[in-house]
Amino acid sequence: MPGPAKRSEEPHPMTPQNPTRHVFRFFGSRVTDSLWRLDDAEAHHALKVLRLPPGEAVEVMDGMGAVARGTLKPTGKESADVDVIESRTEPAEPAGLELAMGALKPGDLDDILPALVELGMTRISIFINEQSGKSRVAEKSLDRWQRIVDASVKQSKRAWRPEVTAFSSLEEWLRALPPQPSADEIRWIFAEPSLLAAATTGPLGTPPGKFFMVRGLVGSEKGFSPSEVRAALDAGFFPVSLGPHVLRARTAAIAAATMLAMAGHAPR
């Protein structure tokens, strides 16, 4: 005699049949608590590039902490909504991490931006060093950099979108800051020890403490001029060495971002 039939349970729509399957994340905006709308470019990417079918499990975010999980609902050839199953608002990241860097050659900068996002930079500022070409920062470059950052935000599952800004010089960027750091802010300039030692009589190093704003400053391929170093030191930047070896500019930027992340993510 056959035993009682086992009850069939429908899987939760957000429970993938293959738990290792990647769930794509897109930028969008909340329409209601149960409905989000993908940005136009994101809908195009989902429907035309990735060719995701209706009902596909996806995530959507607004770049300011709000994230929702749900199912894709195309509303046109290149427009789509998401029927929300669950949503959450993630708190602001514990520390502001800003890396200001001299503009590198376009290919180098494009390559390192994803690493800066993954390391948790909340703001990436690009300026023209005195010894660099003025053509390295253009409006179309800024748009491209923001697109690279946005793609990295989605890939790394961050809920907050870092901002990429451009400045015509280090002096312009420094003018945008408060004249001196507050008690819960630290400012570091990463440069060749010989250049820093020539500009200040103080030892290389960093003060102890826990900070809620960490700013780092690194140069482009030709580094800083003595006047740029002096301006940074006058603005309250502590000189920090990245070691005894000569680093490529792209390596120095990632190393500096790692140090900022370690300081900003320290337990509080």
Read off the DSSP letter of residue 202.
S
Residue 216 has pLDDT above 80, yes or no: yes
At residue 221, the pLDDT reads: 87
Residue 113 has pLDDT above 90, yes or no: yes
Q: Which residues of 34-51 are buried (b: 16+ CB within 10 A; e: fewer)?
A: eebbbbeebbbbbbeeee
Domains and CATH numbers, the chain: 25-89 (2.40.240.20), 96-264 (3.40.1280.10)
> Is 15 exposed, middle or buried (CB count within 10 Å of its CB: 0-12, 13-18, 19+)?
exposed
| Residue 157 pLDDT class (50, 70, 90 cuts) | very high
| Residue 106 pLDDT class (50, 70, 90 cuts) | confident
Structure token digits, residue 5: 């039939």
At residue 198, the pLDDT reads: 52
Helix (H, G, I), strand (E, B) or coil at 102: strand
At residue 210, the pLDDT reads: 56
Q: How far apart are CA 256 and CA 251, in angstroms?
A: 9
Q: How far apart are CA 23 and CA 16, in angstroms?
A: 9
- In tens, the pLDDT along 1-10 reads 444 444 444 4
Q: How far apart are CA 60 and CA 73, in angstroms?
A: 12
Output the pTM of the full model.
0.81
Helix (H, G, I), strand (E, B) or coil at 54: coil
Mean pLDDT along residues 127-133: 80
| Residue 135 pLDDT class (50, 70, 90 cuts) | low
> In whole numbers, what is the pLDDT of the chain averaged over residues?
85
Mean pLDDT along residues 215-224: 91
* Among the ranges given (58-72, 128-142, 218-232), the one the predictor scored with the smallest mean pLDDT: 128-142
Q: How far apart are CA 123 and CA 139, in angstroms?
A: 18
Helix (H, G, I), strand (E, B) or coil at 93: coil
Residue type, 259: M
- In tens, the pLDDT along 6-31 reads 444 444 444 444 445 789 999 999 99
- In tens, the pLDDT along 184-214 reads 899 999 987 666 665 544 433 444 455 588 9
